Amino acid sequence: MQNTKVKADNFSFYYGDVKALKDISMEIKENQVTGIIGPSGCGKSTFLRSINRMNDVITGSRAEGKISIDNKNIYGPDIDVVEIRRKIGMVFQKSNPFPKSIFDNVAYGLKINGIKDKSYTAQKVEKSLKDAALWHEVKDRLGKNAFELSGGQQQRLCIARALAVEPKVILMDEPASALDPTATLKIEELIQELKKKYTIIIVTHNMQQAARISDHTAFFMLGELIEYDVTSKIFTNPSKKVTEDYITGRFG
């Protein structure tokens, strides 16, 4: 049995007066892929963004309860949010390379964390691009603007960028929703490879994708965690009626 990496304890989240997440409690295992599914507006993205405190920047938002990473509450009073975000990589729904060269994109995280050693940076960039299965496609044009890459390549670049700062957990917010099937397949294969070293939490709209790639699946609805179990159980024999209705496509 794997260790618990991320643990939510009665975690609630508010946007102003709206309670977007209601008393979520769940344990996410190390070196596993955990999929989060649910209809639009169910709070799955909010939950994901709570794990690296990206929701902090939203005016009028408020959190209650705990989320712990390696048994340390990241909503505790003595927490450095910047440090948390460095340890938890994030890949966004819409790939967001910076308008810099491919090299500078991957090196960005190192630069802002004060690493000036050029040869170390170059090594790290190469390794990250290799780990993100992008190295062979870009190794001859690292100085080119990242916008010249295709959509799927851009998303893998963003993954490489996240890997470069050596996170423990990688959060992915529908990373393949804007990609074509071939590019999606590449990302999915990559996720399988990455879970050997990282703990991956992925939000997805695509239930087949969740079934294919995740070890555990959580089903969210209206801000509540309805069901959370091993993926095969959720998709073949869910214990709640509403979960079954959702995965069989009766709504959502």
Partner 1 sequence: MKQKQFTQILGFNFLRMCMFIVIAALVVILYDITSKGIGKINWEFLTAMPRKGMTEGGIFPAIVGTVMVTVITAILSIPLGMGCAIYLNEYARDNKITRIIRMSIRNLSGVPSIVYGLFGVVIFVQLMHLGTSILSAGFTLGLMTLPWTITASEEALKNVPNSYREGALALGATKWQSIKTNVLPYSISGMLTGTILGLARAAGETAPILFTGAAFYLPFLPKSLSSQFMALPYHLYIMATQHHAIAKVRPIAYGTALVLITVVFLMNLFAVILRYNLRKHKME
Which residues 6+ apart lie within 8 Å of 249 measured at CB? none
Task: State yes or no: residue 158 binds partner 1 (CB under 8 A).
Answer: yes
Q: Least Å distance between CB 231 and partner 1?
A: 26
57: tokens are 């920047």
Q: Least Å distance between CB 132 and partner 1?
A: 14
Task: State yes or no: residue 141 binds partner 1 (CB under 8 A).
Answer: no
Task: Give the whole-angstrom CA distance, residue 211 versus residue 33.
Answer: 11
Which residues 6+ apart lie within 8 Å of 94 measured at CB? 178
Task: State yes or no: residue 96 binds partner 1 (CB under 8 A).
Answer: yes
Task: State yes or no: residue 86 binds partner 1 (CB under 8 A).
Answer: yes
Task: State yes or no: residue 89 binds partner 1 (CB under 8 A).
Answer: yes
Q: Least Å distance between CB 56 and partner 1?
A: 9
Q: Least Å distance between CB 81 and partner 1?
A: 9
Task: State yes or no: residue 161 binds partner 1 (CB under 8 A).
Answer: yes
Helix and strand numbers, DSSP H then E, in the chain = 10, 10
Cα angle for residues 242, 25, 248 (degrees, 5° grid): 20
Task: State yes or no: residue 121 binds partner 1 (CB under 8 A).
Answer: no
Contact 37, 219 (CB under 8 A): yes
Which residues 6+ apart lie within 8 Å of 154 measured at CB? 95, 97, 146, 147
Task: Give the whole-angstrom CA distance, residue 145 versus residue 30.
Answer: 35
Residue corresponding to tokens 């929701």:
55
Query: Of the candidates 64, 83, 117, 193, which one interacts with partner 1 according to CB under 8 A?
Result: 83
Query: Of the candidates 35, 109, 175, 223, which one interacts with partner 1 according to CB under 8 A?
Result: 109
Task: State yes or no: residue 22 binds partner 1 (CB under 8 A).
Answer: no
Query: Of the candidates 27, 66, 73, 108, which one interacts with partner 1 according to CB under 8 A?
Result: 108
Please choose, from the candidates 88, 110, 106, the residue with its C-alpha nearest in 3D space to the C-alpha of residue 98: 106
Q: Least Å distance between CB 86 and partner 1?
A: 3
Task: State yes or no: residue 203 binds partner 1 (CB under 8 A).
Answer: no
* Strand ordering across the sheet containing 72-73: 18-29, 4-15, 61-69, 72-73
Task: State yes or no: residue 61 binds partner 1 (CB under 8 A).
Answer: no
Task: State yes or no: residue 98 binds partner 1 (CB under 8 A).
Answer: yes
Task: State yes or no: residue 111 binds partner 1 (CB under 8 A).
Answer: yes
Task: State yes or no: residue 247 binds partner 1 (CB under 8 A).
Answer: no
Which residues sit at the interface with partner 1, rule CB under 8 A?
52, 54, 57, 59, 82-83, 85-87, 89-90, 92, 94, 96, 98-99, 108-109, 111-113, 145, 158, 161-162, 165
